[in-house]
Amino acid sequence: MPEVRFSAKNAAYGDIFDVPKPASMDIPDWYVSQEKYTHGERGVNERGGFNQTVKSCSPVYDAITAGYLFYLPCDINVTLTPEQERVDANMTSRSFEHLEFHPSSQISKWSFDKDYYEAGFVGKFLTGWVPRLPEGYSLMVMHPMWREELPYTILPGIIDYDSYASSINFFFLLKKSFEGILRCGSPIGQVIPFKREDWSHSIDSMSDHEYFVGFEKDRRFIENAYKNFMIFTGYPTMKNNIDAMQLVMRANLWDRYGGWYDKSEQSDGNMY
């Protein structure tokens, strides 16, 4: 299994900065409290599908828990200057500077939303951690996914940390007119290691049958079929209802075996 190492620049830095940790260990509070179904109970929505919320969406969970998170090591009190070309950041930890500022002229051609972000500067969160990756691997750097409540947005990038040997920093834009405290322990960046590979691509079309059999049938008949299947309870017990000991297969297996192999009237529907 490939390993990413997070090395402190020296022992003092390791004492100052919070240790990066797997994102799966820090799931946002809003996601934890989100109910799995609208109105709190499993049912059917207006389109005839399951009334699931984002809590049931595997791609969202996989994004939230992918890679590792870095954290702000101290409180930072943010006050805008009258010109709003930078912020005065009074930090509770003075043993190391945790912020730098770059002029917005460095991104003068980028059309970001100046009504949503402060336009006079680009901030940079500094850390004392140096990621170290195996040969051929890089690190994708981004805003902590599904953490839009944070008063800043991390700007994305990719760094080849199999050959680059410097501490990781996180550039950010501050949300418009924000003044207050950036709290110690706030996530300031999500990083995901990946293997660099050359890809080719092709473009084609699927037939309606191919799409339905391969994708749509799972989605319609099996809840959260992207990665899972479900077992039906067989309740209430009645003719033609699926028995508690029977399993609804994924669509590709269903097609392979031709559905229920015993199609007699009193069949209990055992699969091969």
pLDDT in tens, the chain (272 residues): 999 999 998 877 777 778 999 999 999 999 999 998 887 777 777 766 678 889 888 899 999 999 999 999 888 888 776 665 555 665 555 455 778 888 888 888 998 888 888 777 888 998 989 999 999 999 999 999 999 999 999 999 999 999 998 999 999 998 888 888 888 899 999 999 999 999 999 999 987 766 665 555 445 455 555 665 444 444 444 545 554 444 556 666 666 666 655 555 555 444 43
Question: How confident is the model at residue 108, as a pLDDT?
Answer: 87
Q: What whole-number distance in Å separates Cα of residue 37 and Cα of residue 190?
A: 28
CB 192 within 8 A of CB 143: no
47, with CB counted inside 10 A (0-12, 13-18, 19+), is: exposed
Question: How confident is the model at residue 234, as a pLDDT?
Answer: 47
Question: How confident is the model at residue 98, as a pLDDT?
Answer: 78
Task: Provide the edge-to-edge strand list for the sheet that holds 180-182.
Answer: 87-91, 76-80, 180-182
Mapped to the 3 state alphabet, what secondary structure does the chain carry? CCCCEEEECCHHHHHHCCCCEEHHHCCCHHHHHCCCEHHHCCCECCCCCECECHHHCHHHHHHHCCCEEEECCCCEEEEECCCCCCEEEEECCCCCCCEEEEEHHHHCCCCCCCCCECCCEEEEECCCEEEECCCCEEEEEECCCCCCCCCEEECCEEECCCCCCCCCCEEEEEECCCCEEECCCCEEEEEEEEECCCCCCCCCCCCHHHHHHHHHHHHHHCCCCCCCCCCCCCCCCCCCCCCCCCCCCCHHHHHHHCCCCCCCCCCCCCCC
Give just the sign of the alpha carbon dihedral 74, 139, 194, 143.
Answer: positive
